[in-house]
Amino acid sequence: MNKPYIICHMMSSVDGRIDCVMTEQLKGVEDYYETLAKLDADTTVSGKRTAELEMALSGKYVSKNLEIYGKEGFSKKVDAKGYEVVVDSKGELLWEKENGDEKPLLIITSEQVTKEYLNYLDEQNISWIVCGKNTTDLVKASKILYEEFHVERMAVVGGAVINGAFLKAGLLDEVSILIGAGIDGRKGMPGVFDGFDIDQPVISLSLKDVETFKSGAVWIRYKTVE
């Protein structure tokens, strides 16, 4: 299948939790972006929730005209070495107009997105991909990213649900976890992956590399097993 080489790269506590407020307190948090850079993945992917917390403007886009786009398509506003990709299935996040200072945004939605929201992205000079009838089709989106946007390597750096969706779709080539020297332990906090059925068997991995840091953090990289 034509797609980028896709790595899920996350920082977690020793007990596998990834809450952003918590990870910012871990010893080794300063090593996260160093390890991300070593992966040589100029394109990064986040889910709606992570983007809402870290990148998007406050508030929600509400379409006045509810006519949906209803088909697969894409709009490429710029050729770039890497993109900031956000999966927003219904098209609800608000964005500042792209100014070229950061990696260009690229929004992935389902066919349920409104034409009005896509027009809004066009006005902001933001690229977009539409694929999947009711929810985003990550397999098709990855193919479009590879063939039309020329993305060869990308890192999924979102929350448990988007990480799980890429894993469930069989799209991950590698799992990269930076374990910080600390324990969360709070009840109900998210782990690296989520969203599978209760009877899902264990997904096997093959160890690729282990590296330690002065902070006490440990970087573990696994290849997925086909």
Q: What is the mean pLDDT of residues 58-74?
A: 94
At 226 the pLDDT is 67
Domain count, the chain: 1
- Any idea which of 52-56, 93-97, 108-112 has the lowest mean pLDDT? 52-56
Looking only at the bridges linking them, the beta strands covering 218-224 and 174-179 are: antiparallel
What distance lies between CA 150 and its chain's CA centroid?
A: 17
At 101 the pLDDT is 62
The string of pLDDT tens digits covering residues 112-144 is 999 999 999 999 999 999 999 999 999 999 999
As beta bridge partners, residue 87 has 47, 108
Q: Is pLDDT at 9 greater than 70 in this prediction? A: yes
Of 56, 142, 42, give the one whose Cα is nearest residue 91: 56
Q: Is pLDDT at 184 greater than 80 in this prediction? A: yes
Cα–Cα distance measured from residue 36 to residue 31, given in angstroms and rounded to the nearest whole number: 9
Cα–Cα distance measured from residue 119 to residue 107, given in angstroms and rounded to the nearest whole number: 13
Instruction: Say whether pTM exceeds 0.85.
Output: yes
CATH code of residue 183: 3.40.430.10
Owning domain of residue 172: 5-224
Contact 97, 125 (CB under 8 A): yes
Radius of gyration of the chain (CA): 18
Cα–Cα distance measured from residue 172 to residue 152, given in angstroms and rounded to the nearest whole number: 13
Cα–Cα distances (Å) from 51 to 95, 107, 162, 202, in that order, read 10, 11, 11, 29
